[in-house]
Amino acid sequence: MALYFSLFLLSGLFALLFTPAVRRLGHGLAAYGQAGETRPTPRIPRLGGLAILLAVLGTCGALLLTLSDSALNWPRLARILLPGVLVLALGVYDDLVGATPAQKLAVEALASCGLWMAGVRLTFLPLLGFALKSEVLSFFLTVLWTVTVMNGMNLVDGLDGLAAGLGSIVCLTLFLLSLIERNTPVCFAAIVLAGALVGFLRFNFGPATIYLGDTGSLFVGFVLAALATLASEGPASLAKNTLPFVAFAPPIFEVTVTLARRLLGRRPLFVPDRDHVHHRLRRRVRGPHSAVLTIYALASLCWLGSLLVLLLTHSRTTVLVVLSIGLGWWLRYLQYDEFQQLPARLLRQLGALLQPRSASPCSPYLSSFNTDTAKVLGALCVRAFTGTENTEQAAETKEEK
d(CA 136, CA 173) in angstroms, rounded, equals 30
User: Binning pLDDT at 50, 70 and 90, where does residue 397 land?
Assistant: very low
pLDDT (average), residues 179-206: 91
User: Residue 81 pLDDT > 80, yes or no?
Assistant: yes
User: Residue 92 pLDDT > 50, yes or no?
Assistant: yes
Check residue 91 and give its pLDDT. 93
Instruction: Between 192 and 279, name the one with better pLDDT.
Output: 192
- Distance set, CA 394 to CA 16, 368, 377, 391 (Å): 56, 18, 13, 5
d(CA 362, CA 360) in angstroms, rounded, equals 5
* DSSP letters spanning 243-303: HHHHTTHHHHHHHHHHHHHHHHTT--TTS--S-SHHHHHHHHHTSHHHHHHHHHHHHHHHH
Check residue 396 and give its pLDDT. 42
d(CA 223, CA 218) in angstroms, rounded, equals 9
Instruction: Between 219 and 301, name the one with better pLDDT.
Output: 219
d(CA 292, CA 185) in angstroms, rounded, equals 30
User: Residue 353 pLDDT > 60, yes or no?
Assistant: yes
Range with the lowest mean pLDDT among 6-15, 27-36, 136-145, 376-385? 376-385
Among 376, 206, 224, which residue's Cα sits nearest to residue 299?
A: 224
Contact in structure between 196 and 10 (CB atoms under 8 Å): no
pLDDT (average), residues 220-240: 82
User: Residue 64 pLDDT > 70, yes or no?
Assistant: yes
Helical packing angle, 184-204 and 48-64, nearest 10°: 140
Instruction: Between 23 and 314, name the one with better pLDDT.
Output: 23
Among 12, 99, 111, which residue's Cα sits nearest to residue 55?
A: 12
Examine residue 45 and say whether the peptide bond preceding it is cis (omega within 30 degrees of 0): no
What's the pLDDT tens digit per position in 103-125? 999 999 999 999 999 888 888 87
pLDDT (average), residues 168-174: 92
The alpha carbons of the chain give a radius of gyration, in whole angstroms, of: 24
State the amino acid at position 193 in one-letter form.
Answer: L
Task: For residue 332, count other CB atoms closer than 10 A to its CB.
Answer: 15
d(CA 151, CA 254) in angstroms, rounded, equals 9
Burial 254-275 (b: 16+ CB within 10 A, else e): bbebbeebbeeeeeeeeeeeeb
Contact in structure between 120 and 228 (CB atoms under 8 Å): no
Among 11, 15, 7, which residue's Cα sits nearest to residue 200?
A: 15
User: Residue 165 pLDDT > 90, yes or no?
Assistant: yes
| Bridge partners of residue 131, in order along the sequence | 124
Instruction: Between 152 and 380, name the one with better pLDDT.
Output: 152
For residue 113, give the 3-state DSSP assignment: helix
- Distance set, CA 55 to CA 8, 305, 376 (Å): 11, 32, 59
State the amino acid at position 36 in one-letter form.
Answer: G
Helical packing angle, 101-117 and 135-156, nearest 10°: 130
Q: How many CA atoms lie within 13 A of 84 on its CB side?
A: 25
User: Residue 369 pLDDT > 50, yes or no?
Assistant: no
Check residue 11 and give its pLDDT. 95
For residue 177, give the 3-state DSSP assignment: helix
User: Binning pLDDT at 50, 70 and 90, where does residue 67 land?
Assistant: low
User: Residue 381 pLDDT > 60, yes or no?
Assistant: no
Examine residue 42 and say whether the peptide bond preceding it is cis (omega within 30 degrees of 0): yes
Check residue 383 and give its pLDDT. 56
Average pLDDT of the chain is 81
